[in-house]
Amino acid sequence: MTDALSRLLDLQTKDLALLETDVRLKAIADELAGLDAQIDSARRDLAVSTKRHEDAVKRRQDLELRIDGYRAIQDKRRQRLETVKGAREAQAVVTEVEMARAVLVREEAEWVKVAEGVHDCERAIKAVEDRIAALQAGQSAQRETLQAEIAELEAARSAAMAARDAAAVEVDRAIRARYDRLRSARSNAVVVALRGDACGACFTAVPRNRRTQIRAGVLLDNCEACGVILYAEVTDE
């Protein structure tokens, strides 16, 4: 194995280690996002319940105003009843009072229903608030663990980054430029060993003359099909 190749492979090993920490950090970020999503979903339920409660309170208030209005009018009718003269006029007012009372009874029954609805909404809000509190309590240990893992991985990532940078300066500039260009397009290895007569990445056959040169370590050749830098693994044969 040539020096140039071993330095390049060393850089790749360190880049892949760096990538591994990034992948693990991303996985933890996704896990945290999942926990957030559970809470967010419960908070949306809370917003819906709160809005329902507000609407129900408003309906109850409107109903109370209307009922108060009916009662005031009804009082006036009763007062009128005391001052009317003549049985026919009195009978007319009595009829009015009775009809109005039927309306009032209906409205009061409606009020009872709406007031029960308000209580239902209050219970629903309490239930969602309890659910949010339980979620937060249930998640706290998991979040703590994840935060600790993040801190550990961030440290590992800094170390991996420093190791990678140190390895990079050891690689020939032209080869590094090729390597960096390839890496920007691929997330896995870009320096790949021949597998038999083929490229170890895409398994396209490599022409004999190029294989010979690669095995001789004359050049770091690219696969014609997928572009990875090819090399020959040293075997004991």
Query: Which of 5/199 has CB closer to Zn ion?
Result: 199
* DSSP-based three-state secondary structure for 5: helix
Determine if 121 is a binding residue for Zn ion (CB under 5 A).
no
Per CB under 5 A, the list member of 199, 206, 220, 229 interacting with Zn ion is 199
Token reading at 212: 């010979």
| Number of residues engaging Zn ion in binding (CB under 5 A) | 6
Determine if 201 is a binding residue for Zn ion (CB under 5 A).
yes
Please report how many Cα atoms fall inside a 13 Å half-sphere around the Cα of residue 49, on the Cβ side: 17
Site stretch for Zn ion (CB under 5 A), options 8-16, 44-52, 60-68, 199-207: 199-207
Determine if 226 is a binding residue for Zn ion (CB under 5 A).
yes
Per CB under 5 A, the list member of 99, 103, 148, 202 interacting with Zn ion is 202
- Residue 205 CB, shortest distance to Zn ion, in Å, is 10
Query: Which of 37/202 has CB closer to Zn ion?
Result: 202
Determine if 182 is a binding residue for Zn ion (CB under 5 A).
no
Q: Which residue type, as a one-letter code, is found at position 113?
A: K
Angle of helix 3-83 relative to helix 87-168, nearest 10 degrees, comes to 170
- Report which DSSP code applies to 169: T
Determine if 220 is a binding residue for Zn ion (CB under 5 A).
no
Determine if 193 is a binding residue for Zn ion (CB under 5 A).
no
Q: Which residues pair with 222 in a beta bridge?
A: 229
Q: Are 229 and 171 in contact (CB under 8 A)?
A: no
Torsions phi, psi for 76 (to 5 deg): -65, -40
- Report which DSSP code applies to 223: P
Site stretch for Zn ion (CB under 5 A), options 20-28, 98-106, 153-161, 195-203: 195-203
Reported in sequence order, the residue ranges of the chain that DSSP labels E, i.e. its strands, are 191-195, 198-199, 221-222, 229-231
Q: How far is CA 177 from the centre of its chain?
A: 38
- Residue 229 CB, shortest distance to Zn ion, in Å, is 10
Query: Which of 217/227 has CB closer to Zn ion?
Result: 227
Interacting residue ranges for Zn ion, rule: CB under 5 A: 199, 201-202, 223, 225-226
